[in-house]
Structure 1
Amino acid sequence: MDPTLNRRTFLAGLGAAGMLATLSGCARTSAGGATVSGLPQQMVWSTYSAGTGTYNDVAAVANMFTQHAGVQVRLMTSDTGIGRLAPLISGTSHYARAGDEYYYAFEGDDEYTSQVWGPQPIRQIWAPPGNYGVLVRKDSGIETVADLKGKRYPRLVASTSMNRKLLAILNYGGLTFDDVTLVDISYGEQTEAMKTGQLDAMYQNVVGAHVEELASQYPIRWLDLGGNDSSRYDTWEELSPMVRPGEFTGGAGMAAGESAVNMQYSIPLTTLADRSADEVHQVLTVMHENFDLFKNATPDAESFGLDQVLLDPMVIPFHDGSVRFFEEQGRWTPGMERRHQALLERERLMGDAWPDFWEEYADADSPRTEWRTWKNENLPALPAIDDQPGSETTA
């Protein structure tokens, strides 16, 4: 039997109840109980809710680990950023593909500027690219971002990072949140809200079951974020430093040959700094060596290929096991090492300062603002990466 997963058979399999909770299959173990791959017999990964493109990608990779490396992988899902990242930090999950919360947790920003959180030792291990943006129904009459003025626009519950992107997109069109009618809604509820008219626009990955379902019922349009006016992106670095404009094809609802520009960034697979470097290295080795077995399972699975991984912008450090892997594969450069070391130093400085900072500013009117101000005034600028190997991206 052909061991590879194609898109149709894999996505059909996701409908099975057992697949949604635990991807078990025929886990192969050695006589002593260790897996043939040398990895733990069981791992827990946290990610987005079922039906999203991100979930489907993670499930495809996890299924490969189960079927071909003997690792039983349980997927924990949540519709909020904190809900996806908290299990990693608490030790409930081993790895997380959680969204931009990995960056804000590392920095101790926003919800993480609190006594419970503070700066966290997050590490990225693999950074597949993706394209994300705002879509509308074609029957809405909305053709550009500027046309969103006065329209019903999502404000995603407990998802500060995505709300920053939603603001950056409005800024591209010369708008702010004051120019739209904000609708508080969860990420996974947007599709139904678009059908019923509760929303005029939604934020989504360009591929995935939810958005494909919407496009099958209502023609949709991805609002283009391209052009030669760099001033349209003036706020992007502050609001979402991990984002760059990126062209894509093959998105839901797009005709053959049609392209558009929206936000391109990685939702990386992350773990904590104290995860075994040997384990992380082996996770990447298994994923790389078995890439052909899952690369066609979902529209975005091919972005997990070694030549696709985004090593820049690097906004948090890579794990030691990842650095070793990239060095072996010839994808790690002196410029990346400088940036990586600068981020490790940034982490050390934030960690050293945090207890005294919190003691002084816990009762301030806005500890979040005070923390950002402290960092701006006390932390050195990060060096740019000027020698990144070329990489290609697709939707």
Structure 2
Amino acid sequence: MHKINKSLLVGVLSAAPLFAHSAENVELPGTLAMTAYGTGSAGYTQMVSIGNLLKNEYDTSVRILPGENDVSRMTPLRMGRVPLCACGIASYYGSEGVLLFADPDWGPQPIRLISTSTASFGLGVAVAGDTNVKTPADLKGKRVAYIRGDDALNVGTEAFLAFGGLTWDDVERVEFPGYGRAFEGIVANQVDAAFTMSVAPPAQQLAASPRGIVWPELDPADKEGWKRLQNVAPYFQPHKATSAAGEAYGKDSPWIGASYPYPILVGNKSLDDKTASSLIRVLIEDHDKYKDAAPGNAGYALENQNMQWVIPYHDAVVEYYKEIGHWTDAMQAHQDKLIKRQEILQTTWKSFLDSNPPEDEDAFRSSWMKVRAEALQAEGMAPVFR
């Protein structure tokens, strides 16, 4: 096929959606199904825009099943009803077999990474602007939101506290039934801080309230602080967020904070090689064609991929990165370690189920987490979760 210089495409794509393909060797099925966050979410909107590209250029129809929580997003993937999930950090929890996945119906999942988006926003603890909080250490004694039933938000909060050398015991924990209600609580002066995305509507509402908003700084040079944070939640990485609620933040004055990818496009180990290879080719090589089609799409660019993150890549994705010369020995060593970790977890899970574990839900989870930690430590690997 005749190759067209990508730089010439940028100005004409909107006028010529059926332009020649820039990605070659793409073999996708006629219909591709996936789960994603609910309609209106950033993840869903991004998948719709990528679906439009796949339909226009590769004649592949993308069917998106919106899910309002981690279980509804990941169950179809586990059951084989869909090959892909545009998930959140629960994909990592699933890979590790922890939190809601420390359950007889789940256990560690054979999750494989296709791609992620790390865009201009950050993720962290938003704090009312009238609290005189500048760093996570300043949260000591403050009222901090705990969201019932939301592991990702609560672990995120715990990680930020750890950066400042704090735990839940050092703050006043205020429980809320939901994420939105927690931010209503900050505005109403019932609590001072809660975990969120830096551009989320609740954060914008707090910024517009009389209390205002501040994002505590996480100094990238504070190695001990980052070590404590990543011991709790290793998926976080330092990030300059140029998009954050509050007048004090912007491109010229970013929030020096943290982030992790969202969404996280994953399949299982069994995902067809052709599908995995074709998807990563399109996402990388056609990036100019969809990068402006939805907020956050810029995050799929090659330079925004963390090649040594917490979930192993699909084998076909690794082969693609090798093909384009974007794979190193260090990346391979990291990949091998993640694969070995998953294999240890899955072997341990099978043995655990065969050992007649307790039927009581809490006792089952407690027993599994103990066995899991012992198996990982025996191989010199950090359990992370206990």
Q: TM-score, normalised by structure 2?
A: 0.79
Q: Which residue in the other structure is 1:203 paired with?
A: 195
Deviation, 1:37, is: 5.7
Contact 1:46 1:87 in 2 (8 A): yes
Contact 2:237 2:260 in 1 (8 A): yes
Give the one of 267, 271, 276 matched to 1:271. 267
Question: 1:354/1:328 Cα in 2 relative to 1: closer, same or farther (>3 Å)?
Answer: same
Contact 1:245 1:262 in 2 (8 A): yes
Contact 1:226 1:260 in 2 (8 A): no
Contact 2:113 2:267 in 1 (8 A): yes
Structure 1, unpaired ranges of 5+: 6-24, 27-35, 383-395
Give the one of 96, 119, 124 matched to 1:107. 96
SS at match of 2:81: coil
Return 192-201 or 283-292, whichever deviates more: 192-201
2:167 maps to a residue whose letter is T
Q: Which residue in the other structure is 2:8 paired with?
A: none
- Measure the CA separation in 2 of the matches of 1:227 and 1:333: 25
Deviation, 1:281, is: 0.8
Contact 1:49 1:77 in 2 (8 A): yes
Trace 1:187-336 onto structure 2 (pairs within 5 A): 187=179, 190-197=182-189, 199-208=191-200, 211-212=203-204, 215=207, 219-226=212-219, 228-253=221-246, 254-267=249-262, 268-313=264-309, 315-336=310-331
Give the one of 52, 77, 87 matched to 1:98. 87
Structure 2, unpaired ranges of 5+: 1-10, 19-24
Q: Summarize deviations over 1:182-213 as a string: whole Å, max 9, x none.
A: 32343455555555555532322223555456
- Measure the CA separation in 1 of the matches of 2:74 and 2:183: 23
SS at match of 1:271: strand
Trace 1:110-129 onto structure 2 (pairs within 5 A): 110-129=99-118
- Measure the CA separation in 2 of the matches of 1:171 and 1:304: 29
Deviation, 1:151, is: 4.2
- Measure the CA separation in 2 of the matches of 1:3 and 1:192: 42
- Measure the CA separation in 1 of the matches of 2:174 and 2:12: 49
Deviation, 1:380, is: 4.3
Deviation, 1:99, is: 1.9
Contact 2:35 2:84 in 1 (8 A): yes
Question: 1:203/1:51 Cα in 2 relative to 1: closer, same or farther (>3 Å)?
Answer: farther
- Measure the CA separation in 2 of the matches of 1:202 and 1:369: 27
Q: Summarize deviations over 1:270-313 as a string: whole Å, max 9, x none.
A: 10111101111111222223211221234422110112211123
Trace 1:175-186 onto structure 2 (pairs within 5 A): 175-178=166-169, 179-186=171-178
Deviation, 1:141, is: 5.0
Question: 1:40/1:156 Cα in 2 relative to 1: closer, same or farther (>3 Å)?
Answer: farther
1:379 maps to a residue whose letter is E
Question: 1:186/1:95 Cα in 2 relative to 1: closer, same or farther (>3 Å)?
Answer: farther
RMSD: 3.1
SS at match of 2:336: helix
Q: TM-score, normalised by structure 1?
A: 0.78
- Measure the CA separation in 2 of the matches of 1:196 and 1:62: 41
Trace 1:375-390 onto structure 2 (pairs within 5 A): 375-381=375-381
- Measure the CA separation in 2 of the matches of 1:316 and 1:194: 34
Return 249-258 or 116-125, whichever deviates more: 249-258
SS at match of 1:261: strand
Contact 1:361 1:370 in 2 (8 A): no
Q: Summarize deviations over 1:93-152 as a string: whole Å, max 9, x none.
A: 321122222222122222222221122111001133253112234355544434434544
Give the one of 154, 158, 169 matched to 1:167. 158
Question: 1:341/1:163 Cα in 2 relative to 1: closer, same or farther (>3 Å)?
Answer: same
SS at match of 1:302: helix
Give the one of 154, 168, 175 matched to 2:145. 154
1:290 maps to a residue whose letter is D
- Measure the CA separation in 2 of the matches of 1:316 and 1:174: 27
Question: 1:227/1:189 Cα in 2 relative to 1: closer, same or farther (>3 Å)?
Answer: same
- Measure the CA separation in 1 of the matches of 2:61 and 2:230: 39
